[in-house]
């Protein structure tokens, strides 16, 4: 059996964040397609005839038939100078949600990529849970290369 090359999933619920950014319910009904071997994610906005397409260097919004509506090269740079309260446009949302979703859907594959290091923190347990801290090089779009993960001892 060949290794999986993509994953699909539905639903992202960060209502508090989207309200703060002036985009309530923006991702209320979605379906995503993630490539596992490189950062590429398509988010279908169900019932809106729109989809977003994400790569680390470009984010775009287009119709489901492929007509480009808007795009942004170097999307990470659009966050410079913003504060927590700064409103986001649709491309800000598309970039942030896409790199987050791609990361969520590709774990545990992500931590096996060249450039990632996984180190165990000082022993810490709470209700049978142990914490490990993977640290990634700048190999994928994210706002930080440090990620803390909690792995259940029973998993």
The tokens 């994928």 sit on which residue? Answer: 140
More confident residue, 65 or 27: 65
The tokens 């949302």 sit on which residue? Answer: 93
Give the residue-averaged pLDDT of 7-32.
Answer: 66
pTM (predicted TM-score) = 0.70
Q: Of the segments 2-6, 22-26, 36-40, which one has the largest average pLDDT value?
A: 36-40
Closest C-alpha to 62, from 40, 43, 78, 34: 43
The answer to whether residue 143 scores a pLDDT higher than 70 is no
The answer to whether residue 131 scores a pLDDT higher than 60 is no
HSE, side-chain direction, 13 A CA sphere, residue 132: 12
Q: What are the pLDDT digits (tens) for 113-127?
A: 777 776 666 655 666
Give the residue-averaged pLDDT of 18-31.
Answer: 72
User: How many angstroms separate the CA atoms of 58 and 72, rounded?
Assistant: 6
H/E segment holding residue 10: strand 6-10
pLDDT of residue 6: 54
pLDDT of residue 155: 46
């Amino acid at each position: 059996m060949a290794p999986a090359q993509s994953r699909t999933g539905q639903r992202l619920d960060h209502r508090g964040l989207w309200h703060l950014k002036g985009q309530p319910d923006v991702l209320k009904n979605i379906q995503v397609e993630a490539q596992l071997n490189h950062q590429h994610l398509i988010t279908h906005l169900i019932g809106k005839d729109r989809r977003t397409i994400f790569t680390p260097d470009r984010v775009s919004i287009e119709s489901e038939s492929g007509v480009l509506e808007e795009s942004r090269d170097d999307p990470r740079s659009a966050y410079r100078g913003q504060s927590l309260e700064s409103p986001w446009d649709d491309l800000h949302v598309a970039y942030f949600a896409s790199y987050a979703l791609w990361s969520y859907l590709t774990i545990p594959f992500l931590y096996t990529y060249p450039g990632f290091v996984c180190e165990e923190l000082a022993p810490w347990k709470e209700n049978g849970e142990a914490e490990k801290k993977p640290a990634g090089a700048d190999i994928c779009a994210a706002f930080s290369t440090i990620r803390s993960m909690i792995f259940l001892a029973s998993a």
